[in-house]
Amino acid sequence: MATPAANLTRKTDIQSADTFIKGLWRENPVFVALLGMCPVLAVTNSVINALAIGLASTFVVTLSSTMVSLAKNVIPKQVRIASYILIIATFVTVTEYMLQALSYDVHKALGAFIPLIVVNCMILGRSEAFASRNSVGLAALDALGMGMGFTLACLSLGTVRELLGNGTLLGIPIFGPSFEPWVIMVLPPGAFFVLGMWLLLFNWFKQRKEAAE
Amino acid sequence: MTVSQTPAPAGTPAMAIQPAEVSSARMIATMAGIGIISGILLVVSYMGTLPTIEANRAAALERAIFEVVPGATSKTTFTLEGEILRPVKDGEKPSERYYAAYNDAGELLGVAVEAQGQGFADILKILYGYSPGCHCVIGMKVLESKETPGLGDKIEKDPVFVSNFEALDMSLGPDGDTPANPVVFAKRGQKTQPWEIEGITGATISSKAVTNIMYTNSMHTVALLEHNLQVLKDGNPSGQLDPQD
Amino acid sequence: MNTASSMSIFLNAAIINNFVLAMFLGICPFLGVSNKTDTAMRMGGAVTFVMLVASVCAFGINKVLTWMGAPYLQLIAYIVVIASAVQLVEMIIKKFSPALFRALGIFLPLITTNCAILGLALFQTARQYDFVQSLAFALGAGAGFTLALVLMAGLRERLELSTVSSVVQGAALTLILAGVLSMAFMGFAGMAS
Report mean pLDDT in 10-residue bins for chain A, 213 residues: 49 76 82 82 87 93 93 84 88 91 84 83 85 90 93 93 87 81 86 92 88 84
Q: What pLDDT is attached to residue A11?
A: 62
**Would you say residue C91 has pLDDT above 90?**
no
**Would you say residue B10 has pLDDT above 50?**
no
Q: Is residue B22 within 8 angstroms of chain A, CB to CB?
A: yes
CB-based contacts of A125, cutoff 8 Å, min separation 6: A29, A33, A35
Region of B169 (left: φ > 0; alpha: ψ -120 to 50; beta: rest) is beta
Top pLDDT among B220 and B95 is at: B220
**In whole numbers, what is the pLDDT of chain C averaged over residues?**
84
For residue C112, the chain B residues in CB contact (below 8 A) are 2
Residue of A70, A96, A97 to mutate, interface with B, max B Cβ within 10 Å:
A97
Query: How far is the C-alpha of C126 from the C-alpha of A112, rounded, in Å?
Result: 8
Task: Inspect the interface and report whether the beta carbons of A77 and B22 lie closer than 8 Å.
Answer: yes
Q: Is residue C147 within 8 angstroms of chain B, CB to CB?
A: no
For C70-83, the pLDDT digits (tens) are 888 888 888 888 88
A positions 10-69 inside 8 Å of C (CB): 34, 37-39, 41-42
CB-based contacts of B83, cutoff 8 Å, min separation 6: B224, B227
Query: How far is the C-alpha of B36 from the C-alpha of A155, rounded, in Å?
Result: 36
A positions 189-208 inside 8 Å of B (CB): none
Exposure b/e, C10-37, CB count within 10 A at least 16 = b: bbbbbbbbbbbbbbbbbbbbbbebbeeb
Residues C54 and C86: beta-carbon distance below 8 Å: yes
Q: What pLDDT is attached to residue A144?
A: 93
Of the candidates B147, B149, B166, B167, the one whose C-alpha atom is nearest the C-alpha of residue B207 is B147
Size of interface B-C (CB pairs under 8 A): 44
Task: Inspect the interface and report whether the beta carbons of C12 and B46 lie closer than 8 Å.
Answer: no
Question: How many residues in chain A?
Answer: 213
Task: Inspect the interface and report whether the beta carbons of B34 and A71 lie closer than 8 Å.
Answer: yes
Report the residue from A41, A86, A93 with minimal CB separation from C24: A41
pTM, rounded to two decimals: 0.81
Count Cα neighbours of A26 within 13 Å in the Cβ-side half-sphere.
6
For residue A121, the chain C residues in CB contact (below 8 A) are 28
Residue type, B97: R
Of the candidates C140, C154, C120, C159, the one whose C-alpha atom is nearest the C-alpha of residue C39 is C154
Q: What is the SS3 assignment for chain A? A: CCCCCCCCCHHHHHHHHHHHHHHHCCCCCCCCCCCCHHHHHHCCCCHHHHHHHHHHHHHHHHHHHHHHHHCCCCCCHHHHHHHHHHHHHHHHHHHHHHHHHHCHHHHHHHHHHCHHHHHCHHHHHHHHHCHHHCCHHHHHHHHHHHHHHHHHHHHHHHHHHHHHHHCEECCEECCCCCCCCCHHHHCHHHHHHHHHHHHHHHHHHHHHHHHHC
**Radius of gyration of chain B from its Cα atoms, rounded to whole angstroms:** 27
Measured in degrees and rounded to the nearest 5, phi and psi for residue A104 equal -60, -40
Of the candidates C30, C35, C51, the one whose C-alpha atom is nearest the C-alpha of residue C148 is C30
Query: How far is the C-alpha of A50 from the C-alpha of A55, rounded, in Å?
Result: 9
Task: Inspect the interface and report whether the beta carbons of A188 and C24 lie closer than 8 Å.
Answer: yes
Measured in degrees and rounded to the nearest 5, phi and psi for residue C41 equal -60, -50
Task: Inspect the interface and report whether the beta carbons of B42 and C73 lie closer than 8 Å.
Answer: yes
Residue type, C184: A
For residue B124, the chain C residues in CB contact (below 8 A) are none
**Would you say residue C188 has pLDDT above 90?**
no
For C46-67, the pLDDT digits (tens) are 889 889 989 999 999 999 998 8
Question: How many residues in chain C?
Answer: 193
Exposure b/e, B172-207, CB count within 10 A at least 16 = b: eeeeeeebeeebebbeeeebeeebbbbbbeebbbbb
Bridge partner list, B112:
B99, B129
Q: Is residue C96 within 8 angstroms of chain B, CB to CB?
A: no
Q: How far is Cα of residue A42 from the mean position of the Cα atoms in its chain?
A: 13
Confidence of residue C106 (pLDDT cuts 50, 70, 90): low
* DSSP 8-state assignment for residue C16: I
User: Quick one: closest CA in B to C81, which residue?
Assistant: B1
- 3-class state of residue B227 by DSSP: helix
**In whole numbers, what is the pLDDT of chain B averaged over residues?**
77
Query: How far is the C-alpha of B42 from the C-alpha of A173, rounded, in Å?
Result: 40
Query: How far is the C-alpha of B76 from the C-alpha of A56, rounded, in Å?
Result: 36
**Would you say residue B8 has pLDDT above 50?**
no
**Would you say residue C101 has pLDDT above 90?**
no
Query: How far is the C-alpha of C134 from the C-alpha of C137, rounded, in Å?
Result: 5
Q: How do B184-186 and B196-198 pair as beta strands?
A: parallel
Q: How do B74-81 and B108-118 pair as beta strands?
A: unpaired
Q: Is A9 exposed, middle or buried (0-12, 13-18, 19+ CB in 10 A)?
A: exposed
User: What percentage of chain B exceeds 90 in pLDDT?
Assistant: 1
For residue C182, the chain A residues in CB contact (below 8 A) are 188-189, 192
**Would you say residue C3 has pLDDT above 50?**
yes
Residue of A31, A38, A157, A210 to mutate, interface with C, max C Cβ within 10 Å:
A38
Q: What pLDDT is attached to residue B242?
A: 47
Residues C140 and C132: beta-carbon distance below 8 Å: no
Q: Mean of the pLDDT values across residues C169-191? A: 85
Of the candidates A178, A160, A138, the one whose C-alpha atom is nearest the C-alpha of residue A23 is A138
For residue C89, the chain B residues in CB contact (below 8 A) are none
Q: What pLDDT is attached to residue C2?
A: 62
Q: What pLDDT is attached to residue A3?
A: 46
- The domain ranges of chain A are 15-212
Confidence of residue B2 (pLDDT cuts 50, 70, 90): very low
Q: What pLDDT is attached to residue B1?
A: 37
Q: What pLDDT is attached to residue B238?
A: 61
- The domain ranges of chain B are 13-52, 69-234
Q: Is residue B42 within 8 angstroms of chain A, CB to CB?
A: yes
**Which chains does B contact via 3+ CB–CB distances below 8 A?**
A, C
Task: Inspect the interface and report whether the beta carbons of B22 and A90 lie closer than 8 Å.
Answer: no
**Would you say residue B244 has pLDDT above 50?**
no
Residues A31 and A201: beta-carbon distance below 8 Å: no
Cα→Cα distances C72→A63, A84, A90, B45, B58, Å: 19, 18, 9, 9, 20
Q: What pLDDT is attached to residue A155?
A: 93
Residues B98 and B79: beta-carbon distance below 8 Å: yes
Cα→Cα distances C40→A212, C30, C153, Å: 40, 9, 7
Q: What pLDDT is attached to residue B6?
A: 41
Q: Mean of the pLDDT values across residues C112-134? A: 86
C84/chain B closest Cα distance in angstroms? 6
For B106-124, the pLDDT digits (tens) are 788 888 888 888 777 677 8
